[in-house]
Amino acid sequence: MTDTVFNAKAFCRDLPLQPGVYRMLNAKGEVIYVGKAVSLRKRVSSYFQKSNLAPRTQLMVSQVSGIETTVTRSEAEALLLENNLIKSLKPRYNILFRDDKSYPYVILSGHEFPRLGFYRGALDKTHQYFGPYPNAGIVRESIQLLQKIFRLRTCEDSVFSNRTRPCLLYQIKRCSGPCIHRISPQEYQADVNNAELFLQGKQTEVMEVINAKMQQASERMEYEQAALLRDQIQALRRIREKQFVDSGKALDADVVACVLSPDGSGKACVNLAMIRGGRHLGDKSFFPQNADDYSAANVVEAFLAQHYLNRSAPPLIILGEKIEREALQQLLTEQCGHKITIQLNPIGEKRVWLNMAIENAQLALKQMMSRHASQEKRLQALQQELQMPGIQRIECFDISHTLGEATVASCVVYDNFAMRNNEYRRYNIDGITPGDDYAAMREALSRRYQKVVSGEGQLPDLILIDGGKGQVTAAQEALQELGISDANLLGVAKGEERKPGLEQLISPLFEKPLQLPSEHAALHLIQQIRDEAHRFAIQGHRGRRAKARTSSSLENIEGIGAKRRQQLLGRFGGLKGVLTASIEELQQTEGISRKLAEKIYKELH
């Protein structure tokens, strides 16, 4: 808290002309904006000297009660510090992009018989990685295609090294069976080499190699092998025909396009298209927060800095907006260990890629704004129906268990017209009578809102309870014990025959349950949030139950201690593998006699 009026003129006069980062603080001492500057004095002074500032910037400046600065050695170093601070502090006047998880890759392991698989995380030089891909679905689709064409193994090492008979994938011709020596190391490596070429975007070269092998097999009158190779060529040809972007050049690039909403609402969309090996792997759209009054170039600059810092980047990044790129190029080059070029206003084929990214950004923004308008309409309908005009943030609770086993409570969050996945929470419920949903609900709300009482977090505008009068009463008791008396509670009880559209809404404020028409917009919003809480609770319950049963099913067998249990699970890749193993296969595990193998088999079947 600052005690004196901030004298901007005197403060700026003492600032250095060196590069650095500045942090603007409000009266509460909160950082409301972080920026970088080639010259701290010139940049910070400009906020208090200009009269033509954008309305949003004027509002920000009017709230400034103090400024902190950090001098850096270069503009590139200032850029790095600026974005690390933006990610950690999330100031309200900075453009913010969601910090996604690391992107997924296709991996070819470094084993004698390499494994084809999905990978996310730090890269290891002993394996080969292809990507990154914009989402997990595209990776899994690519793996399925590669399995179909090249029949590479996808099983984990623990399963691969302990198989004695072919698996289902071998039977349906999705694996060549290297685990049981149905293919030689040389033949398998040839398939691996072709898969590598395919992933590098060299489909034509792969087809030429396979075509030569097909001709040789045909000349040797090995017609079955020739037919298999012919099918591979046909599958590759179909894939190549579907590929929109395929330049024939093994080029790696990212294409970044930005569009702003035409209605002036401040909404923006950045579309990132990934080109690897000359192939378009897919694209992903990002919707920044706090983008009001910013230009498309400002949004793109913020995206590049926040997205690529501390993450690998391809050698070429193609943009449609003019930005200051020198410092960013220098920083990314140093970070990635190879030269990074940021290209503006591309021509030829690269212009086609950029136009495609712009079209995808426009489409994604249009769809997002349509969803936003629909959600806004639903929320307004709920506010009117409940006579609670201030409802913005809603939290919903649900309980899931199987006959009282592995009880899990879920809490999902709806705020700013969307579900907020990163704020979801689950609570494992123990120490209650199995199957007591009321006690479970009391504990869930107590654990959720005791932090609010201690000054952390915030109380939502509405608390939804998946349940009837009993669950709502239990929730009310939990809040009263915490000293919370101003919370709005609403129960969602299933209607007759548990049919959607017949739900009854129960609240301590209502004399009798409220039933809305099945087509009512407010009911649709309640159903959306309630169903998400139900899904999240079931997912948590199933995971907890599976974990408990995995350990207990082997623990209950006499003669199976921790060491033997670990050996069995490791050898067969988990409980599922143990369940499908024969007595002879179980007996091959170290420390498992014939008699004990028979006992294990009998107990598990």
334 shares its domain with 472: no
User: How many residues are present in the chain?
Assistant: 605
pLDDT at 238: 64
pLDDT of res. 43: 93
Residues 131 and 228 in one domain: yes
Residue 385 lies in a domain: no
551, part of any domain: no
Q: What does the buried/exposed string (b/e) look like for 515-544 if buried means 16 or more CB atoms within 10 Å of the residue's CB?
A: ebeeebbbbbbbeebbebbbebbeebbeeb
Helix (H) or strand (E) holding 253: strand 253-260
Q: Contact at 8 Å (CB) between 391 and 461?
A: yes
Residues 76 and 110 in one domain: no
**Domain check: are 533 and 398 in the same one?**
yes
Which domain CATH number covers 330? 3.30.420.340
d(CA 323, CA 343): 10
pLDDT along the chain (605 residues), means of 10: 70 92 92 94 90 85 92 90 90 85 84 90 84 82 82 85 83 88 90 84 76 84 81 70 50 92 86 85 89 91 88 90 90 88 89 92 92 90 90 95 89 92 92 90 94 84 93 93 90 77 86 89 94 94 76 71 78 73 81 85 76
DSSP E strands, 442-488: 462-466
- CA count, 13 A, side-chain hemisphere, 388: 19
Residues 451, 453, 454, 455: what is their CA dihedral angle, to the nearest 10 degrees? 90
DSSP 440: H
Domain final position from 63, 89, 115 = 89
Q: Who contacts 10 (Cβ-Cβ below 8 Å, separation ≥6)?
A: none
Q: Which of 174, 181, 169 is nearest to 228 (CA)?
A: 174
493 assigned to some structural domain:
yes
Dihedral class, residue 310 (left if φ above 0, else alpha if ψ from -120 to 50, else beta):
left
Q: Is 235 inside a domain boundary?
A: yes
Strand partners, 412: 396
pTM (whole model) above 0.85: no
3-state DSSP assignment of residue 163: coil
Cα of first residue to Cα of last residue in the chain, in angstroms, is 68
In a domain, 427, yes or no: yes
386 belongs to a structural domain: no
Cα 34 from chain centroid?
26
Clarify whether residues 528 and 405 are in a common domain. Answer: yes
Tokens coding 553:
């099913």
* DSSP alpha helix (H) spans, 154-295: 157-160, 168-171, 185-199, 203-219, 223-242
Residues 435 and 384: their CA atoms lie apart, in Å, by: 36
- pLDDT, one tens digit per residue, over 311-321 is 788 999 999 89
b/e code 353-368 from CB counts within 10 Å (16+ = b): bbebbbebbeebbeeb
600 vs 501: CA distance, rounded Å: 49
DSSP assignment string, 326-342: HHHHHHHHHHHSS--EE
Q: Is residue 166 part of a domain?
A: yes
Number of structural domains found in the chain: 5
The answer to whether 226 and 217 have CB atoms below 8 angstroms apart is: yes
Query: Does 117 reside within a domain?
Result: yes
Tell me: the pLDDT tens digits for 284-321? 999 998 888 899 999 999 999 899 887 788 999 999 89
Rounded Cα distance, 332 and 313, in Å? 8
The reported pLDDT for the residue numbered 366 is 92
Residues 111 and 188 reside in one and the same domain: yes
**Do residues 400 and 535 share a domain?**
yes
In terms of domains, do 446 and 585 share one? no
Range of the domain at 262: 253-367
134 and 190 together in one domain: yes
Q: What is the pLDDT of residue 304?
A: 93
Question: Are 421 and 479 contained in the same domain?
Answer: yes
Query: Based on the domain organization, do 402 and 512 belong to the same domain?
Result: yes
136-150 and 185-199 are packed helices; what angle lies between their axes, rounded to 10 degrees? 140
Q: Are 58 and 112 contained in the same domain?
A: no
